[in-house]
Chains A and B, each alone.
Chain A
Amino acid sequence: DIQMTQSPSSLSASVGDRVTITCRASQGIGNYVGWFQQKPGKAPKSLIYSASVLHDDVPSRFSATGSGTQFTLTISSLQPDDFATYYCQQYNTYPLTFGGGTTVDIK
């Protein structure tokens, strides 16, 4: 299985901060990566697919880049609604696998 390693596992930030989350794949996966946001008691919500493409309903403060084995998710100016846990996921190879998550909480 392809392992997806996220870092950090958690971070504390303030409203307005720039936040970057990193995801590393155990082998090259092209751009077959998605990013999800999950809030407590809710299902994960897809934010980004194909490594960098935002869904239409995702605010433009979210962006993502990467290919091969290194991927990043950036929130340019953290908003109160963004405090949540974020996961990367690869779909280059079955079984689909997810990163361990990065929890963004309030400093």
Chain B
Amino acid sequence: VQLQESGPGLVRPSETLSLTCSVSGGSVNTGHYYWSWIRQSPEKGLEWIGYIYYSGDTNYNPSLMSRVTISRDASKNQFSLTLMSVTAADTAMYYCARDLGDGYTLYHWGQGIPVVVSS
């Protein structure tokens, strides 16, 4: 399976960050897999944002829960991250990932996409 992130690299403060992960070699709505978003910054290190399960169930990091939504588009075989009201603290490399099939091992990763929040 291969994953590829896409989206704008620059977002204005207070606006909404939207990223998409395109999946090949697997389907986002079959196979009992967890499709996750993780971000990485020098300040916070690696931070798990949340996942969408193949069934559509979601689970988010409580630290971001009020601002984050993860959704999927099975027709395009993609899943997406939406993060509202961004600040400079949301500047990071954003990764999408899929588990190994065991429910927790983050095994397949995209290459990452850098996002800068700045006016």
Question: Interface residues, chain A, CB within 8 Å of chain B?
Answer: 1, 32, 34, 36, 42-46, 49, 55, 87, 89, 91, 94-101
A44 to B95, CA, bound (A): 9
A94 CB to closest chain B CB (Å) equals 6
Minimum Cβ distance to chain B for residue A83 (Å): 19
Q: How far is the CA of A9 from the CA of B42 in the complex (A)?
A: 13
What is the CA–CA distance of A17 and B95 in the complex, to the nearest angstrom? 32
Set of chain A residues within 8 Å of B46, measured between Cβ atoms: 44, 87, 89, 98, 101
A-B contact list, 17 entries, CB within 8 Å: A34-B104, A36-B106, A42-B111, A43-B95, A43-B109, A43-B110, A43-B112, A44-B95, A44-B109, A46-B105, A49-B104, A89-B106, A96-B104, A96-B106, A97-B48, A98-B48, A101-B46
Residues of A within 8 A of B48 (CB): 95-98
Stretch in contact with the other chain, from B13-21, B25-33, B56-64, B71-79? B56-64
* Residues in B whose Cβ lies below 8 Å from that of A96: 48, 104, 106
Residues of B within 8 A of A (CB): 45-48, 59, 61-63, 95, 97, 100, 102, 104-107, 109-112
Kindly provide the distance from the CB of A23 to the nearest chain B CB, expressed in whole angstroms. 13
Set of chain B residues within 8 Å of A44, measured between Cβ atoms: 46, 95, 106, 109
| Residues of chain A within 8 A of B59, CB atoms compared | 94
A32 to B103 alpha-carbon distance, docked (Å): 11
| Nearest-CB residue, chain B, relative to A34 | B105
Chain B residue contacts of A55, Cβ below 8 A: 107
Contact A43 B111 (CB under 8 A): yes
Knowing A43-B95, A97-B48, A98-B46 touch, does A91 contact B104 (C-beta < 8 A)? yes
CB distance from A6 to the nearest CB of B (A): 10
Which one of B45, B102, B110 contacts A98 once the chains associate, using CB atoms below 8 Å? Answer: B45
A95–B109 touching, CB < 8 Å: no
Write out the residue numbers on chain B whose beta carbons fall within 8 Å of the beta carbon of A49: 100, 102, 104-105
CA distance A55 to B108 in the complex (A): 12
| Bound Cα distance A87, B48 (Å) | 13
Complex: A42 Cα to B111 Cα, angstroms: 6
